[in-house]
Each structure stands twice: as structure tokens, then as C-alpha cells.
Amino acid sequence: MKISLNWLGRYVDLDGEHQSPEKLAEQLALCGGLEVDEIHRPGLAFEKVVTGVILEKLKHPSADRLSVCQVSTGHGVVHQIVCGAKNHNQGDKVVVALPGAILPGNFQIKKTTIRGVDSCGMLCSSSELGLNSGSSPELADGILILPSDAAIGTEYADYLGVRDVIFEVKVTPNRSDCLSHFGLAREIAVLTGRICEFPVESFLLDEQSCRSQIKVIVTDHQRCLRYSGICILGVQVGPSPAWLRQSLEAVGLKSVNNVVDATNFVMLELGQPLHSFDISKINGKVEVGSSQKGEKFETLDGTILELTGDELVIRDDNAPIALAGVVGGKNSGINENTTDLFIESALFSSASVRRTSRRFGIETDASYRFSRGVDPEGVLLALNHCSQMIQKIAGGRILREAYDIYSQPIKKPTIELDNAFVNQKIGFEISPVETLAILRRIGCEINDGEVISGQDGNDELPGRFCVKPPSYRWDLRIPEDLVEEVARLKGYPFIPETLSWLKNPPKSHHPEYDLRKRWVNMATGQGFRQTIHYSFVSSQDQNEFLGNLEFLNQCGIIDSHSAVTIKNPLSEAQNVMRLSLGWGLFTTAIHNDRFGQKSGEIFEVGETFSHQVRMTNDSDSVTDPFNEALLLGLCVWGSPIDLWNQKMPPAVYRIKSALENMVRQSQLGQLHFQSIPNDQLAGFLHPQQATLLSCLGTPVGYLGTLHPVVCERYKLRVDCAIAEVNLYKLNKILTRKMVPISKFPVMQRDLAFVMPLELPVGEVVAEIQRVAGNSLREVCVFDVYQGEGLALGSRSVGFRMKFQNLEKTLTDTEIQKVQDEIVSFLAQKFSISLRS
């Protein structure tokens, strides 16, 4: 909201604040809770406009109607200016716009030559300065002659005293009382201890009664809490006087005509929205009540709305003429031909106005104020003030017996406040006298019966008071609200810093936090960089990328096929919640590859979302119909430049090592890598380089190289692999228990088998582990050979086995026995034999 300091000055003495508005702004923020986002100084509109004196006036050599003036603007500076006016003479004090000045209407003053004579500026008339229009036409025609005692060389803004300061104030939703100049002046008065007054001017009422002109009824008292209105007959609609135009323009409002400007001015002045109807366009009576479903309504600016039956409207006998508190109707608005006005000043229910405003997406200054709450006791003041103002600037007769339908006057709440409670809540000793003084300062009434002075007139007051906040402070309802008022006006800096609650013992973190943190740390330890992606993605991108969702289901990444949709996305690129981390990681790989990072190792630990599979239309109140899974996603692309002593394995193996390390670090057990039938594979994975991850029989994720077709589609021309693991599922399976350490020696045996290429080595390893049982501590693949000496289509795989027993030293015979068993079982199961 824009606030003009000059305007504020009508109600509160702001002497000196114009020079350093920053100080006032800080006070508003620190004690008022009203942030001043920006400070403008529009007095700069008169930049390069100064006062001067005409030293010499000569006729223009080649134009009879023009004169050539030598004008001094002080400090020995003289300008030659060609002027077309007639009313000026040598020795007159004038207003000079120098080259570079920009006058109202974006009129730029430049150095020019007029009929062969140089002219460096302009002598200004009042209208050129945007000052008046009400004064006599002769005066408006000629240039402005200042009194002879005017100082020359003064900037005109200073001469006029119009140097204004505009605050852009952020008002929190609770402080609707500050949504006006008077309201803010009142708050400044509270903060600075100044006096704030609203100048009430009296005016004469006509003999005729409003009731004879128009009939007003309210049929919905729930939503229309108070409705007042007055008739003004015989007004002359026309342009507003300069001061009014300037006041409105200074705070960003366009001047329309004197009547509309007056209602807007009073709204910005008192915070009470007003609306003016043209009486001649009202058919029959005015009724405040509910709209009818399907009824059409055309707003002032020509938008046609279809009403739902839920809106509060003002209607005449035929149709709605205004959406209550939101916007007026085209059918009843005033124009230059209007002579008779009905001015409305009302109090509509906040919720109702807000609902209507949201429904049609129309937010007006009026709806903004109504939805935050206006002062129920300010309704009539605003109406009277506005009538008086209209009469002053547009003429007309104000009829007597204004309407004021206020069937259930809003009662001010009474808040019982215990000073001990104030002290306890603030954590700081404030005397009852001080508490009372602060509450009175903000306009609260204190029930006198409750405050009894102690004997001898000392400061001893009883600790409890009954407090009635002023009607404009909707936000003061409970004792805590008053605690805040006392605390902020006493000053937050006075509150000491304590930690009195440390006596209670702490509890442990939510397991999900520990889980997340552990995996972030482990993945970081494996040399992966953490990334964080938006939780929402484009549904089209996601579907195109993931392809067959059944695969993600099979490997435990998602529980259902349907993504969660956002009703009001910012754009189509972010319209569903992500089902997997894969797409985000892939886009980051592409982004980085494009920007020259030709290889990288990244991960994300984050949530994914899916709809729960639902039987029917159940309305189970306990559970929510969404699954949020916590996933670990890993992505590796490219190969760091091959160093002099090293060759990098393919991306997919680099992820595999990291995954296995992490699972081992968690003391979780072992990941199993199961091959997937081609027809079940997701489209984004390479059919020959993908595997399902499982742990103790439960699928927990997948690992694979990106499909070359997908990479090509996005021009990623390096090796890229992705893995995802469902951390909730994995965590459920795995235990973190210490395994005892054997103190007996380790015996190592190597066996090499010749086997067909198609036989996955992992299956052989699993079989070796099964057959060897407990005394096999570890088995690893130490050699894979294919080529000379072996049949085509076969390879030799060397396994290194470490045997160790918890209770004893194993003998050669015992180990030989296990070894023989392994050889015979493998021969049986896979038809493979030792390499000779």
C-alpha cells in the first residue's frame, strides 16, 4: 500500500520526518510490525524547475505574439527564454522549467530555437505545472506570477512545499486498521507519542429526506453487518481539483472524476470502501441480499460474470447493481451526466467478500479492505465525510435521514488481562501502570471498576483489568494479543534472552531423519555429489522418459501407476509430482554435459509420490490416499579423462561398487542383482545392461545404463547410468547388528571355472555361498578371461574364497571337503568344471 507522508501530515504532526523518512520507516517496522518496502520521493517531479526573475523582456524580432526574456535564476545565472504569454513583465517573479525538466504529462523541456531565437527553458503556467484548474481561465492562460517577495533560485518543489515522501508499506493481514492514511497516522501517533486527530467538518442537510428518494432494505444480515447510504442530488460530475488529483496520483490511483475520486480518497483516508450509484439508474428499491444462481452481472469495467447464488449482491427491482464489497455494476455506475447520487458505506462480512473476490479473481481496493475487516464504527464517519467532500467539489444537496441499517451492533470483546500473565509471557517485569498506559495508548478502554488505585495514590494497582480494544482493532481478541501489544510498544529489544526450559531431557530424532542423513553421508563418502530437484515435473516428460511403469513397480520404486496431479501448477512443466528420481538426475546430467562437465557422479535422496491403490470410493478418514517414498538415486555419466595410469570402468559398474559399499557400510547384508526379462524392462534402460536390485528376496530398486536411444534423443553422447533404491523398503529389511569377529586364521583358496558367457557370474557366486555355508567368510571374483585356449562362447572365471570359522582353526582336509562339494554342486547345477 502506498502512503503519502504529506497526506499523513493532515492528521499527525510529522515535523521533520520528511528529511529522514528512513527513521520513521524503521520505527514502523521495529515497533509497528509494518515493513516499509520502498521509499519514493516524488517531489523530484519538479526537478530542474526553479524560481526566477525576469530581468528583461523584449519583443521577438520575427513574431509579434512572442517575447524574448532574460531570466535570472539566482547565483548570477541568466537564461534566454522565448515565451508566448502576455501577462508577464520585467521584474516579475516566475517559475522556470530548465532544460531536462519533465513536467506533468511527460512534457520534456529541451533547449530549442524558436523562429531563429534560442530558448533555454520555459516560463510555466499553473496548468503546465499541474497545479490548478479551478481558478479563472485568464489566469490559467498566462504564466504563473509569484509574489514579489518570492526568493529566486529556489527549487520550486521546496518553494511550494510539495516535496512528498511515499512509503510502500507492507501491512500484515491482522492490521487492517492500518490500511488507510488516518489508520497509519494513528499507529504512528501511538509509536511516537504524538497526537493524531481526524478533522471533522460539519455540513448542512437538505430539507428533503433520503427515504423519499430511495428505499433500502437488507435481507441478509449475516453477511451485511451494517449498511448505510445517503443521497446527494444535483451534483455536477467533472474533473477533480488539482489537490485531489495529486493526492490520488501520489499513491498510484488514477483520477476519474470528482465523485469517484472523492469516494476513493475517503477510502484511502479512513479505510472504509465507499460506492456511488447513479440514482436515476436504480429501478425501484435497493436490496442487499443473496444473488440468484445463473444470474448475469456486468462489472464496471465490462466483465460479465455468471453468479452462483452464493454471492452477496446489491440489487434493484430488476437485477444486481453491485457485487457487495467487491465491484460495482455497469448498470448503475455514475458518469459525466449523473446528477443524483446514492453513496453507500457498509460493513460486509470478511469471509463472504473474500470468497466472492477469489471466485471471480477480482481483487479491488474495496475487497482487499473488506476481507481484512473494516472499522464497524467508522462506517458513518466515512459516509458523512465523503458527502461533505462531494458537496464541496461537485455541489449538490445532501439529503437528511441517511440510511444506517445496523440491526445487531457488533459488540467489542472484553478481554480479561492479568498483569502477572503479561510478565510471565514476556519474561520481563512490567508494572501494571505501564501495561495500562500502553493499552490506553493504543485506544483500549479499561473498565474503570476494575482499576482501583492503591492507597496513598501510589502505583499499586490490582493485577487484573478488563480491556475493551477499539472497534478498528479486529485483531485484538485474546490476552495473548494484548501481550504482543505491550511487548512491541515496550520494545522487543528490552526482552532478556533466557533458556529456562532446558530442564527437560531431549528425545531422539525421527528415524526418517537419521535414515536420510545416513544415506546422504554414505553417498557423499562414495564420491557422489548431492543434488536437489523440484518435486514436481512435467507429466509428459515423465511419462515419455519412464515408459513402462510396471517395471518401476516390479523393482519396488513405486507402489501404484498413477502420479499425483497439481490442480493449479505454475506451468505445464511442473504439473505432476515425480514418481521417480530418475528423470531429474538425467536432466541434470544433460544440463551439466551441455555446460562442459563431461563427466560426473551425482545423487539425490528425496521423496517421490504416487496415488495409493484404492479399492473403491472409500472415505477412510485415518489414512491419506498418497504414498510418499524416500528414494536414493545415483547417476554417473561420462568418464573422467583417462589418466596416465588408469582406465575407468563403465558408469554402471561405478554405481554398482558405490551401492555395494553403501549397503555393506550400513551392515545391512547384501544386495542381489537379478536380471530382468526384456519385455518387463522400462524404456529408459539399456536392455542388456540393467538389473533389478533385491535384498533378502524383496525388490528394492534397479540399476542400469541409460538406453542409447534415450541418450540420443537428448544429445547426451556419453556413457550414462542410473540406479534408484527405495530406502524405506531397504531399511525395513536390514538390521544393524554387530557380527562377531573370529580369532582363528583365514585360509584362502582360488578356483577357476570355465563357463558359458550367458551364465551370470552372480548366480555362481550365490551358489558357492550357499554350498560353503558359515565357514566361507568371503568370496570374490578375481579374474575373468576369455580368448585363446578357451572354446568360443565360454570364459574362465576365477573365484577367491576366504575360509574362517568362529570356533576353531580349519584343517586342510575340512577345507578340501568344502571345495570338493562346491565343484561337484556347480558341475551338477550349471554343468561347469574347473579350468584345467
Partner 1 sequence: MLKNQLSALRKEAEEKMISAQSVTQLYELKVQFLGKNGTLSTLMKGMATLSKEIRPEFGKLANEVKGALEQLYELQSVKLKDREIQQGLQANKMDLTLPGPYCSKGSRHPIQIVMDEIVEILSRIGFSVRSGPLIERDHYNFEALNIPKDHPARDMQDTFYIQDPLSPREYVLRTHTSPVQIRTLETEKPPLRILVPGAVFRRDSDISHSPHFHQIEGLLVDTKVSMSDLRGTIAYFVKAFLGSEMKTRFRPSFFPFTEPSAEVDCSCPMCNQMGCRVCGQTGWVEIGGCGLVHPQVFANVKLDPKDWQGLAFGFGIERMAMIKFGIDNIRLFSENDLRFLEQFHL
- Of residues 546-565, which lie at the interface with partner 1 (CB under 8 A)? 564-565
Helix axes of 258-270 and 181-192: crossing angle, nearest 10 degrees:
30
| Residues in 368-387 that interact with partner 1 by CB under 8 A | 371-372
Give CA–CA dist 583/19, Å, rounded: 57
Eight-class DSSP state of 638: S
- Residue pair 291/280 in contact (Cβ under 8 Å)? The answer is no
Nearer to partner 1, 595 or 738 (CB): 595
User: Which member of 2, 10, 30, 380 binds partner 1 (CB under 8 A)?
Assistant: 30
523 binds partner 1 (CB under 8 A): yes
375 or 601, CB closer to partner 1? 601
The Cβ of residue 596 has, within 10 Å, a number of other Cβ atoms equal to: 6
Q: Which is nearer to partner 1, 478 or 781 (CB)?
A: 478
Structure letter (DSSP) for residue 297 = E
Chain center to CA of 515 = 31
For partner 1, give the closer residue by CB, 371 or 689. 371
Nearest to 834 by CA among 760, 768, 747, 748: 768
Q: Which residue's C-alpha cell is 477533480?
A: 240
Q: Which of these, 25, 23, 43, lies nearest to 34 by C-alpha position?
A: 25
Give the nearer residue to partner 1 in terms of CB position, either 112 or 431: 431
The 3-state DSSP class for residue 333 equals: coil
For residue 780, which of 690, 647, 670, 659 has the smallest C-alpha distance? 670
Nearest CB to partner 1, comparing residues 597 and 675? 597
Among 82, 83, 169, 483, binds partner 1 (CB under 8 A): 483
Spatial separation of the C-alpha atoms in residues 451 and 468, rounded to whole Å? 13
Query: Among residues 27 and 698, whose Cβ is nearest to partner 1?
Result: 27
| Contact characters 34-63, partner 1, x per CB under 8 A | -x----------------------------
Comparing CB distances to partner 1, the nearer of 276 and 610 is 610
Residues 698-757 that bind partner 1 (CB under 8 A): none
Q: In angstroms, give the least distance from the CB of 715 to partner 1.
A: 18
Per the CB < 8 A criterion, the answer to whether 804 and 810 are in contact is yes
| Binding of partner 1 by 293 (CB under 8 A) | no
Contact call for residue 567 and partner 1 (CB under 8 A): yes
Inter-residue contact 512 to 630 (CB < 8 Å): yes
Q: How far is the CB of 94 from partner 1 (least distance, A)?
A: 39
502 part of the interface to partner 1, by CB under 8 A: yes
Told to check if 223 binds partner 1 by CB under 8 A, we report: no
Q: Does position 813 bind partner 1 by CB under 8 A?
A: no
Q: Which of 424, 670, 811, 824 binds partner 1 (CB under 8 A)?
A: 424
Q: Is the dihedral of CA 560, 562, 568, 572 positive or negative?
A: positive
349-368: contacts with partner 1 (CB under 8 A): 350-352, 354-355
Measured from the CB atom, the residue of 208 and 535 that comes closer to partner 1 is: 535
Query: HSE (CB half, 13 Å, CA atoms) of 50?
Result: 21
- Residue 41 exposed, middle or buried by CB count within 10 Å (0-12, 13-18, 19+): middle
Residue 509 as a binder of partner 1 (CB under 8 A): the answer is yes
The reply on whether position 497 binds partner 1 by CB under 8 A is yes
Q: Residues 86, 90, 92, 94: is their CA dihedral positive or negative?
A: positive
Q: Report the alpha-carbon distance of residue 734 to residue 120 in Å, rounded.
A: 88
Asked if 676 interacts with partner 1 (CB under 8 A), we say: no
Interface with partner 1 (CB under 8 A), residue from 120, 162, 520, 761 = 520
CA distance 716 to 160: 68
As a dihedral over the C-alpha atoms of residue 26, residue 32, residue 37, residue 40, rounded to 10 degrees, the angle is: -70
Phi then psi for residue 221, to 5 deg, are -80, -15
**Segment lying near partner 1 (by CB under 8 A), choices 249-257, 381-389, 588-596, 805-813:** 588-596
Residue 238 has a CB neighbour count (10 Å cut-off) of 14
Q: Compute the distance between CA of residue 45 and CA of residue 41 in angstroms, rounded to an integer.
A: 9
CB nearer to partner 1: pick between 306 and 480: 480
Residue 577 is a binding residue for partner 1 (CB under 8 A): yes
Name which of 571 and 813 has its Cβ closer to partner 1: 571
Annotate each residue in 173-202 with x if it binds partner 1 (CB under 8 A) or - if it does not, as one string. xxx---------------------------
> SS3 for 686?
strand
Q: Is 534 in the site for partner 1 (CB under 8 A)?
A: yes
Residues 6+ apart with CB under 8 A from 282: 214, 316, 321, 332, 342
**Which of the residues 611 through 670 are near partner 1 (CB under 8 A)?**
611, 614, 617, 619, 624-626, 628, 640, 643-646, 648
Site string for partner 1, 116-155 (x = CB under 8 A): ----------------------------------------
